[in-house]
A and B are shown apart, each in its own frame.
Chain A
Amino acid sequence: MGKTDDPVLKVEGLGIDFGGLTAVNDFSLTVYPNEIRGLIGPNGAGKTTVFNMLTKVYDPSRGTIIFDGKDTSGMTEVEINRAGIARTFQNIRLFSGMTVLDNVRAGMNGVITYGNLSAVLRLPSFRKQEKEIRERSVELLEIFGLKDDMDLLAGNLPYGAQRRLEMARAMATGPKLLLLDEPAAGMNPQETEELMDMVRSIRDRFDISILLIEHDMQLVMGICEKITVLNYGMVLSEGTPSEIQNDPQVIKAYLGD
C-alpha cells in the first residue's frame, strides 16, 4: 500500500470528444498497487467513459495511459486485458446463453496453450489443462458465492448474482487492475454489505488494485482509501473519504445549486 511503489496506473491529460461533445477532459489519475480507489460523480459525469478509454472500448482523443509501466496507446481491447486490466460493466454483459461455470472458464482462455487439434482429439495436454482451468474456475466461483449455481445459465441468475459473476469472470483473466462499474447497483443493503467484504478480500487474496465507480456512498466511503470525483468530464476533487465528504465543491456538485 506504500506510496513509494511504482504506480500500477498513471493517467495524464486523458480526454475524449464525441462529435462536438467533450465527454471527458484533462482527466488524471494515479493508482498504486493494492489500492482500492473510488471514482464518483453525478450521472453523466463521464465515469463509464473513463473505463471505456482505459480498456480501449473507446480510443482517447488526448492524453496518456501508462499501465504497469507501459504506454497503452495503440493497444487493443484484447491486448489491454492480456496486459492485466479487467472490468465489469454498468449494464451487465454476461454470456447469458452459457453456464455460470463457462462464463468464468471463458475468462481463462489467455492461459490455454493447447491447440484446437489437441482439443478435438482430447489429447493429454488438453485434458490436463482443462482440469486445471475447471478447478481454478470452481475456486473463483466459490469465492464469489456462485459455486452451487455453476450449471445454471448465466442469464437465469438473479441480478445480484449476475454482478458477482461478472466480477468472477473478470478475475478469471488474472488482472493486476480490476475496474468495477457500479458493482452494487440493484443490490439490497445486505448484498451490498457482502459485496464490500468480497471486494476487500479479493484485493488481499489476489494482491490487485481496484478502481470502482459507485453511487452508493456508504460503500465508497467504506472501502476506498482514496476517491476521485468527476464532474462534467473533469476531475473536481481528489482525496480520502473524509476529505471528499467535507469538500464544499463536491457537496455543491451533488446537491446542485
Chain B
Amino acid sequence: MNNKRSQIVSFSIIIILYAVLEILLKTGNLSSLFSSLLIPVCCYMAAAIGLNLNVGISGELNLGQAGFMSIGAFTGICVSGMLSGVISNGVIRLVTAMIVGMILAGVFGILIGIPTLKLSGDYLAIVTLAFGEIIKSLVTNLYLGMDSRGLHFSFVQNKVSLEPGGKMLLNGAMGATGTERIASFTAGVILVLICLAFVYNLMDSGSGRAIMAARDNRIAASSIGIDVTRTKMLAFVVSAGMAGAAGALYGLSFSTLEPRKFDFNLSIMILVYVVLGGLGNMTGTLIATMLLVTLPQMLRGLSDFRMLIYAIVLIAMMLITNNEKVKIFIEKMRLRRKEKGAGNGEN
C-alpha cells in the first residue's frame, strides 16, 4: 500500500508536466531546442523504466538497452515505411510500428536470455554489452529496400536492386532517411504512462514478488517453488520490449536516423538514469531522466559553472535516492504515518 503514494507522485509528475509543456508548446512559448527534446525524453524514460525493472527490481546488469532501442527504431521505421501506402492514418501506423518494434526487441531478449539467465553471475552484462555492439554493426551494414515484389536486403552496398517506384528503407551507415515523422509528444507521454502502469502493476503481483524474491535470494526462491530463470527472463524481456517500443517512437520522430546513435554510450546513459534515480525507484528514474537530459541545455548560458552545477546535481541526486540513511528515514516516516492512520481508525 505504501507504494500507492509514490505511484500517484510519478503519474502526477508526468501528467502535470505534460499539461504545462503542451500549453507552452501550443502558445509558442517553448524554445525550439526544448521542444525537440520532448519526444526523446519520453523515449529515454520508457527505456529507463524497463531497465529499472531489469536492473533495479530483478537485479541483473544490462548494458545493451541501446541495442533493443535500435531494433525497435529501425523495425518501427521500416514498418511505418512499408505501411505508408496502406494505412494513411499516422496514429495507427505509429502504434503498429511501436508494437512490432516492441515484439521484435522482446524476441531478441528471449534469444539472449535463454542461454544467459540460467547462469548466476554477471553474464547478462557481458552478453548484452556484446549484443549492443553487434546490433549496431549489423544495422550499419544493412541495406533494405522495398518494391512491388516485396522486401530486398543485402549486407553489401548497392546490391539491392529495386524496381522503379521502389524505395530504400535502410541505407547502411546512413541508416534511415526521409522518414515520415509520425511520432508525437502525446504518444510519448502515453507510452511512459503505460510503461509505468505496467511495471507498477506487475511488481504488485505474483510475478513481481517472484522477481524480487529471485533477486534477494536465489536459493530461497527456488526452495519455495519460484523458477528463478523464468522470472529473470520476464523482467529482461519486458525491459527489452519497452526499449523496443521507445526506440520505434524515437526513430519515427526524426527524418534521418543513423545506427550509430544507438551506441554503448546510450546504454550507459540510460543505466545512469536508473542508478541515479535509485534502483527500483520509478519516480526517481523519471526525475533523473528529465533532469539529466534537460539540465545541460538549461545551463548552457552559465558556461563556466555548467559542469560544476551538473556535477553537484548528480551527487545530490545520488545521495538522496541511494542513501541508506535517507531510505531508513523514509521508512520511519512511512511507519509513523501508518501508525497515526491506525490510531485514528480506532478512535
Taking Cβ atoms with an 8 Å cutoff, the residues of A that contact B are 55, 57, 76-78, 81-82, 86-87, 89, 93-98, 102-103, 105-110, 112, 114, 116, 119-122, 126, 130, 133, 151-153, 156, 169-170, 172-173
Contacts and interface: CB of A to CB of B under 8 A. Distances in A.
A130 B223 contact: no
B225 A173 contact: yes
Given A77-B219, A89-B220, 9 more contacts: A57-B222, A86-B223, A95-B216, A95-B217, A103-B213, A106-B213, A110-B225, A151-B1, A169-B224
A77 B222 contact: yes
A66 B311 CA distance: 62
B216 A81 contact: no
B221 interface: yes
Given A86-B224, A106-B221, A107-B224, A95 B212 contact: yes
A116 B219 contact: no
B181 interface: no
B209 A102 contact: yes
Interface string B209-235: 110110111011111111100000010
Nearest to B334: A151
4 tightest Cβ-Cβ pairs between the two chains A and B: A119-B205, A93-B220, A81-B225, A95-B216
Contacts of A77: 219, 222-223
Nearest to B227: A78
A202 to B, nearest CB: 16
Contacts of B224: 81, 86, 106-107, 109, 169-170, 172-173
Contacts of B210: 106, 109
A3 to B, nearest CB: 29
A98 B214 CA distance: 11
Interface of B: 1-2, 197-198, 201-202, 205-210, 212-213, 215-217, 219-227, 234, 331, 335, 338
A173 to B, nearest CB: 5
A82 B220 contact: no
A170 to B, nearest CB: 7
A156 B327 CA distance: 13
B194 to A, nearest CB: 10
Given A77-B223, A120-B198, A173-B225, A97 B209 contact: no
B217 A93 contact: yes
A120 B2 CA distance: 18
Nearest to B2: A151
A98 B209 contact: yes
B209 A57 contact: no
Contacts of B217: 93-96
B4 to A, nearest CB: 13
11 contacts: A81-B225, A86-B223, A96-B217, A98-B209, A109-B225, A119-B202, A119-B207, A120-B198, A120-B202, A151-B338, A169-B220
Given A97-B216, A102-B212, A112 B206 contact: yes
**Among B205, B207, B220, B225: residue with most chain A CB under 10 A:** B225
Given A77-B223, A95-B220, A109 B206 contact: yes
A250 B221 CA distance: 36
A136 B206 CA distance: 14
Contacts of A130: 205
A51 B226 CA distance: 18
A169 B215 CA distance: 16
A77 B221 CA distance: 10
Contacts of B197: 120
B223 A97 contact: no
Nearest to A155: B216
Contacts of A89: 219-220, 223
Nearest to B210: A109
Given A106-B224, A169-B224, A98 B213 contact: yes
A87 B219 CA distance: 11
Nearest to B224: A107
A53 to B, nearest CB: 13
